[in-house]
Structure formats: C-alpha cells, structure tokens
Amino acid sequence: MASPSRDKPPSSLPVSPKAQRRFIVPTRRFLRLTLALLFLGLLVSVWPGLGVFWVLLALLLLLLFLLDTLLGAKGGEIQIERQIPLGHLGRLGTYNISLHNTGDRPLRLCLHEILPLGCEGDPLKQRLLLLPRQKVFLERSYLGTKRGNHHLPPIGLRIETLLGLAAYQEMHAKEDSLTVQPGRPSVETSWLLIRAGELTRDMDRSLLRRGGNWQFDSLREYCVGDEPRKIDWKASARRHRPMIRTYKSERNTQVLFLLDTGRLMGSLMNGINKLDRSMTPLLDLAAVCLNEGEKVGLMAFDSQPYLWVPPKDRISHLRRMIQALTFLETSHAPTSYFAALSELQARTKKRSLIILFSDFLDEISVRECFTSLAQLAKKHIVLFVAVNDPHMQKIMKEEAGDTASLMEKAVTGQLLEERRRVLAEIERLNIFTLDMDPKHLTGPLIRKYLEIRSKRV
C-alpha cells in the first residue's frame, strides 16, 4: 500500500506560455467620440450643409482608429511570468508576477487575475505604465484553504494604444500551479525544534536525577565541574587528554502516526476541515521525533487503510510525509478502526509508540474501536488524540438567551459528557489520551510525547 498515485507538479518556477488569445476592442474614448459623431449626425438633418463635414469627421475617426490599431503593441511585447513558492495551509502566502516590456516604447496596460478554488484573496486589478525595456514585479497575496495542487487561471492583460482609441486584450495562458501543503514554514519548524530540544534536555536532567534508562551519546573534552566518574579512561589515553562520556535518555525506536480521514474529520472549522488542521500538529511532532533520532511512519485510513509511509529515521523523511499528506484526499466514508489497526499490527511487529488522530461524535460511534485499541495496547504504547471542535466549548460558555439556544446548550453538554466518558474508558485500556482543539494542539502533544518517553512505559 503506497501513497495515492499522483503526479507531483513543481511548486514554483514559471513555464513557457501557451498560445495567447489576442483581440482588439474599442476603448471608452472611441465610444464617446462615436456617440458625439452620432449626435452631430442629428444636426445634419437640421442643417444639411454640415453633411460633408460630418462625413469627413467619420472618415477621420475611422482612419485614426485603424492607424491606432496598426501602430499598437505587437504580440509578445509584454512577457509575463509567475514565481510561485510553496504555500502552507491556513497561512497567508505570496507569489510574484513579473511583467517585462521588451519593446522600444512605453505601454499603458491593465492586468487582471483571479485566484483558483482552494485559495482565498481579492481579484487583482492593476494599472501600470511600463517604460521601454522595463521589468516590474507585483506581489500577490492569498490564503490557502485547501491542500494540493491548484492550477492558476490565465492572466488577463489589456494594452492601450498610442491614441487610446483601441486596446489589445490578451489572455496569457500559462501552465502555472500553486501547491498548498500542510505544516509550517521551515523557519517556524526550526524554531520549534529548538524549543523542543530545550524541553528534551530539561526532561533528561529530571530523568537523570530520578534514574532511568540511558544510552551512550558522544565523547567530549573534560571541563571543570564535570563528574570524574564520567571520564572514559580508554578514550582519554588514546587522545592524551581527559574525555567525558555523555549520555542521552533511551528513545523509543519507532513512532507511527495513524490519521483518520473519515467523514467526521471533514467537518469545517473556520473554513478549514479538522483533517487539514490536524496535519500541522502531526507534522510538528514528526519533526521533533525525527530530530531525536526516532523512526517515524504514517498510515491514513477511512473505511480501509489506503496510505502507508514506511518508518525512517532521517530528518529528510519529513519531506516525504508532507508530500504524502499534501495530495491526500478527504474522504466521506465512515471510519473503520478495525481494518486500520489490523493492517497496522500485520505491518508492525516491533513495539512502537502509536499516535492515533481521530474524532468521534458519541459513545455509539466509537464503541467498535475499543476491542481493536485494547488489542493494540497489549503490544504497543498508544496515544489517542481526539480532535475536538472548539465551537462546542464556545456554546457552553455563552448565555442561553432563548429556548433554541437553551436546547442547543443542553445537547452540547450531553455530547461533551459522553466524550469525557469515552476518553475515560479508553484510558482504562492503558492508553494515553489527549483531547484538544487542533489549533492549540502542538504544544500539549509534544509535552505528552516527552512525558510518555520519560516514563519508559
């Protein structure tokens, strides 16, 4: 079982344009002059002597229109390219549009562009004056609300002629695409790894005071204040200077993420569904685990498991996981824990930390997973991450102003009580649980992982 077979298009860089659609249209200036000429034609019926003058004006206007179109910009004088970096789900992103006047005369133009479905932003309408050989860049902002590859519509360009009587309209059809992926920008991920490293060192010092399982990490030179019992005498003799053995807490060697993509994970939260919002904390923890030397794998499932990313321990493996999640389809099928957990147990013989991202509506909808989770917990360490809806907590905090809101609050309270009972039953199966809004899940999830690791379950 592998990731869905899809062509992964490049996330950026302009490509050669297709044939441009180009046609001539009259401008408002020409239409106003034509209307004035028609009004003058009404006067001709009153003063017939103006007839010759009117015909000459009409011929002059037609001649100027034809001359203006002939002397207008040639096709291909304006070159347009997009430079598109990767976008991130739920984040404001930008890309650049470059316009290059390759001709020897200034050109007035108006540019139009709209965003594809899956990205939000105002339509772009920009009037520009391009000097000869000038190149300008426009920055385009958008909000990515759907994962995957989005083909950008053609750019509309309207180029005015010298006299302003006509304009050339072009559709610059380019095979550009904008890729919106889950997770964080690399700068934020690096900062997150630094903060997680500080938490890891704090927990390691605490574990050292309590005693625990440790493994050799590296050698370093002795410094004043180091404990003499940590000196490696053989290494010191080889290097002719005192060397200290450093240790790190023993890690679980494998972390497997299970991501439920079923119907309940498709409910929207501020325009983005639960599944998409869950991917950011999942990838955050995956980055932390890989940075700590753990092997990390991924399985996605709905009624059947359909995506499997084998566990690896290289930090570059995070890119493979992001690519797999970027093109993962949201499913409308019901969730089957039995099929997914049976497949996982068949694939994984080694004791691992299993982190399951899912959600449930009530006790009935999650009851069938208890047996499978209990069987899984006999061999593996299991963390059940329930992705909750913050709207339910908001309903409970608001005052009930009428009968309808009072009923809504009562039903919500009953669902939350059932949710607490279900999570308590899962914990009785010797399974760790975490129930959080995905927007605030990253911090508690990393701390829970470090807590589980320090306990040596």
Q: How far is the CA of 87 from the CAs of 150, 179, 278, in angstroms?
A: 11, 6, 17
Specify the number of domains making up the chain: 3
135 and 169, same domain (yes or no): yes
330 and 229, same domain (yes or no): no
Specify the pLDDT at position 248. 57
H/E element holding 80?
strand 78-83
Length of the chain: 457
Residues 40 and 50: beta-carbon distance below 8 Å:
yes
Examine the pLDDT at 10 and tell me if it is beyond 50: no
Within a domain: 403: yes
How far apart are alpha carbons 87 and 122 in whole angstroms? 17
Beta-bridge partners for 128: 109
For residues 137, 141, 145 and 146, what is the CA-based torsion angle, rounded to 10 degrees? 0
Within a domain: 76: yes
What confidence tens digit (pLDDT) does each residue in 159-184 have? 988 888 988 888 887 778 999 999 99
pTM of the model: 0.75
47 and 120, same domain (yes or no): yes
Specify the pLDDT at position 362. 66
What confidence tens digit (pLDDT) does each residue in 400-431 have? 777 777 787 788 778 788 888 888 899 998 99
283 and 374, same domain (yes or no): yes
- Expressed as residue numbers, the domain containing 134 is 21-181
330 and 393, same domain (yes or no): yes
How far apart are alpha carbons 224 and 328 in whole angstroms? 54
The CATH number linked to 122 is 2.60.40.10
How far apart are alpha carbons 5 and 307 in whole angstroms? 10
Q: How far is the CA of 181 from the CAs of 145, 146, 412, 426, in angstroms?
A: 10, 8, 33, 32
